[in-house]
Structure 1
Amino acid sequence: MTQSPATPLPTPTERRRLRVARSLTQTQIAERVGVTRETVRSWETGRTAPRGRKREAYARLLAELGRAETGKAGTADAGARKEADTRTKAEARAARPAPAVAAAPAAVREAPPEPAEADESSGDGPARERPRSASEAFDALYAHSAPHLVRQTYLLTGRRTLARESVERAFQLAWQRWPEVAVDPDPVSWVRAAAYEYAMSPWHRLRPAHRQPDAPPADADDRKLMDVLQSLPPAYRRTLLLYDGVGLDLPETAAETEASTPAAANRILHAREAVAEQLPDLAVPEQLHRRLTELAGAEKLDAPGSTLVRGAGEKRVRFWTRTAIAVTALIVGMTVLTLRVAPTHYEPTPAPGAPISGVPPLTGPGHYTQEDLALREALKKRLSGGPERLAPVAE
């Protein structure tokens, strides 16, 4: 499952130092290696490591920079070295809190521009970071990550409206918990995990708008790939998109999916086998990554403005706060009403009945005996055969 070649690479700090020592920008390094500037920045911060041919090309370039630096070591000025070290530290401080954004245009990592990058190109040296307010930092994170997260979520769900809604809800939650998200080492991963969790909720199938499938992509190949993705189990689909689509490493993928590293590796293997079974052209991971990038980039999915997201999140918070206050007031009112109409004194319940002794037994005629019954029958027979009864007659 390991895809990292054996080509040795310097440490991330040493990579930045070699580049700064040669007065090169990340954009120039990216052009020579054949990647984006955001990818180079991710390599220099240590968040990701290059793989395959990109790793070999990057290693050769670093070795060339190291040899060039060795050749100029005899004539290098101590003050220039100190300035380069100072610039490296300033760049590291600028790169550390900046959020790494996933996928550019859809599956390659992207991040906000570095403040020190413009200073390097201008040659004026590192400048101090301008302190940002919470809203400005949130808007910067949203502007650089929201469009790509919407496309990624669309690959996960196959529904455009749900993808926009999931990302919007995730950023609203991030704004509500901004003190926590702002200090997170990777705020984009935080938002992406929240968006994926909301998008994969099973309760969406009960919504009337989600009973009918969404319109498929226009291209036939894109439709086939989307159908294959949607046929995978949700856990396998999410793991495959994070590893082969977004480009996360295996430990990062396992951490974001809350699974162990062997479990994440098995999910990736099974998902690749399922995709290759129906689409043999995508059996190679590089081809699968390219097709996922093209499929995500083919959909023109725009996210709403950051101010609208912040406003909607604040409005939602106010609504639930007022609802909680209203429910609390209702409970307090019912309690006061109950205390008002409740009885003010205690009325003891009647004691249970107790048996009374000394009462004489009930008296009266008892049951007829055999002798009484025989006498009764004899009397009836005699009366029926005797003289008629005398009835009084009025004179």
Structure 2
Amino acid sequence: MTRRPATPLPSPKARRRLREAASLTQTQLAERVGVAPGTVRAWESGRTTPRGRKREAYAKLLKTLAAEEESAARQAARTPQPTPPPKTEPTGDRASAPKACPEAEAEPEPGAEPDPVAMPMPVLVPMREPAPESQPRSTREPVPEPRPAPAPLTPAQAFDALYEFSAPALVRQTFLLTGRREQARESVERAFQTAWERWPEVARDRDPVGWVRAAAYEYALSPWQRFRPRHRHPEPPPADPGDRTLLNTLLRLPPRHRRTLVLYDGVGLDLPETAAETEASTPAAAHRLLRAREAVAGRLPALADPQVLHRRLAELASNERLGAARPPTVRRGGERRARFRTRAAIAFTVALIGTTALTVRTAPTHYEPPVSPGQAVRGVPPRVAPGSLSDEELELRQKLRDQMQDGPERLSPQLE
């Protein structure tokens, strides 16, 4: 049984443009599709993709919006534009007046309706008519030279800016998951090293910080961390008794519930984004969040309010002095690790090729059956080394030689 291919959808940027062109809010679009507004926000951000019947309904609605936009564009193209009234020639005094404000050239013409999108705030300055062509060039206003565009950042500069912006906060968030300062710092650095190795993919991502955060959380909560020698030596707990109690309560939660609680109540993501980052459905993420809040409220009743819990998590992360390495150090560490893995892969490949060549060279070209082991046979005297014959053996040999070897003569049958 073959599966029907999924309905194609436009890019997330095109989905948002179609919705805005139809003057629809995310809530209105969600009501027409039959989903929550957060789900539409996740679809337009590219973090999740609709499936099943919701995908079919969403694709049909986008197709309808695209058809309406195309028909509106055709109708606007067929509608003739009104001819503007002729402008009166300005007097010499007005033409030679100095420029009142640099924004005057961007003002709309008299009689035209302002566009609320193109003009978010009107500029209250007197409008100046353009100078007539009959005036000499020396009396005209000098045209300002366009400012040069800023030079684009190199990949290393963009990575350093992302690291300096998000690394300190990510280290504090990871500390809430692990309760270990060194492990939190190492997890964030390892996540950024992985991001530097895949920088073309991370640079084009809509949320590079979320990409790095997901990688850091996965490394910090890996079950292999418990087998490291560092995990056997506990770190000193926070000095404040309240912070110590809250951290112990967080560490008692299951890893999935703890991660959901930190993302929703600590980082401040909404429920669909939390579900997408934890690779779970929205109902499953909501269930984990409720269970985590119940566990925290059971041990600390004062944190039953989500706002109070959010403030206490921020205070717990801020009270710890968690430093991060410099961006060049992280980049060089990632490059060294990548070179080591590349050289190890090359060495393993060379060893495998050499072993294969040696096996082919020394392998036999034909089959030789193995020699079966010897077994003792009962009733047969063992073989002895040849030697001189005794008198009895000599007599027996002479007797055998004297008798006929062919046996008795053939007898002819006779009737009785």
Indicate the residue corresponding to 2:108 in structure 1: 78
Instruction: Assess if the C-alpha contact under 8 Å between 1:87 and 1:125 holds in 2.
Output: no
Residue 322 of structure 1 aligns to which amino acid in structure 2? R
Indicate the residue corresponding to 1:148 in structure 2: 169
Residue 232 of structure 1 aligns to which amino acid in structure 2? L
Task: Give distance in 2, aligned partners of 1:125 and 1:221.
Answer: 59
The answer to whether 1:192 aligns with 2:208 is no
Match of 1:293 among 311, 314, 323: 314
Cα deviation for residue 217 of structure 1 reads 0.5
Indicate the residue corresponding to 1:306 in structure 2: 327
Instruction: Assess if the C-alpha contact under 8 Å between 1:156 and 1:241 holds in 2.
Output: yes
Indicate the residue corresponding to 1:362 in structure 2: none
Cα deviation for residue 327 of structure 1 reads 1.1
1:205-245, Cα deviation, whole Å (9 max, x unpaired): 11121013221101111111111111111111100000000
Cα 1:303–1:189 change in 2 (3 A) is same
Per the alignment, in what secondary structure is the counterpart of residue 118 of structure 2? Answer: helix
Task: Give distance in 2, aligned partners of 1:280 and 1:307.
Answer: 45
Residue 234 of structure 2 aligns to which amino acid in structure 1? P
Alignment of 1:111-122 (within 5 A): none
Residue 366 of structure 2 aligns to which amino acid in structure 1? Y
Larger radius of gyration: 2
1:121-180, Cα deviation, whole Å (9 max, x unpaired): xxx999845311111111111010011000000001000111011001100110111111
Cα deviation for residue 348 of structure 1 reads 5.5
Cα deviation for residue 339 of structure 1 reads 3.0
Indicate the residue corresponding to 1:272 in structure 2: 293
**TM-score normalised per structure 1:** 0.57
Cα 1:127–1:233 change in 2 (3 A) is farther
Indicate the residue corresponding to 2:281 in structure 1: 260
Residue 219 of structure 2 aligns to which amino acid in structure 1? Y
Alignment of 1:1-395 (within 5 A): 77-78=107-108, 85=118, 128-343=149-364, 345-347=365-367, 349=369
**TM-score normalised per structure 2:** 0.55
Cα deviation for residue 189 of structure 1 reads 0.6
Task: Give distance in 2, aligned partners of 1:147 and 1:231.
Answer: 25
Cα deviation for residue 328 of structure 1 reads 1.1
Task: Give distance in 1, aligned partners of 2:370 and 2:265.
Answer: 79
Task: Give distance in 1, aligned partners of 2:234 and 2:240.
Answer: 17
Q: Name segments (4+ residues, structure 1) moved above 6 Å.
A: 79-84, 124-127
Cα deviation for residue 266 of structure 1 reads 1.2
Instruction: Assess if the C-alpha contact under 8 Å between 2:275 and 2:285 holds in 1.
Output: yes
Cα deviation for residue 337 of structure 1 reads 2.2
Task: Give distance in 1, aligned partners of 2:264 and 2:358.
Answer: 60
Cα deviation for residue 341 of structure 1 reads 2.8
Cα 1:347–1:204 change in 2 (3 A) is closer
Residue 78 of structure 1 aligns to which amino acid in structure 2? P
Task: Give distance in 2, aligned partners of 1:162 and 1:150.
Answer: 9
Per the alignment, in what secondary structure is the counterpart of residue 334 of structure 2? Answer: helix
Q: Percent identity?
A: 60
Task: Give distance in 1, aligned partners of 2:118 and 2:326.
Answer: 39
Instruction: Assess if the C-alpha contact under 8 Å between 2:45 and 2:206 holds in 1.
Output: no
Cα 1:350–1:278 change in 2 (3 A) is closer
Cα deviation for residue 338 of structure 1 reads 2.5
Task: Give distance in 2, aligned partners of 1:279 and 1:126.
Answer: 58
Indicate the residue corresponding to 1:8 in structure 2: none
Task: Give distance in 1, aligned partners of 2:367 and 2:277.
Answer: 63
Indicate the residue corresponding to 1:101 in structure 2: none
Residue 304 of structure 1 aligns to which amino acid in structure 2? A
Task: Give distance in 1, aligned partners of 2:284 and 2:146.
Answer: 47
Residue 249 of structure 1 aligns to which amino acid in structure 2? D
Cα deviation for residue 351 of structure 1 reads 12
Task: Give distance in 1, aligned partners of 2:292 and 2:146.
Answer: 48
Q: 5+ residue gaps in structure 1?
A: 1-11, 15-44, 48-75, 89-123, 353-395
Residue 198 of structure 1 aligns to which amino acid in structure 2? Y
Instruction: Assess if the C-alpha contact under 8 Å between 1:169 and 1:195 holds in 2.
Output: yes
Indicate the residue corresponding to 1:369 in structure 2: none
Q: 5+ residue gaps in structure 2?
A: 1-18, 22-43, 47-105, 122-144, 373-416
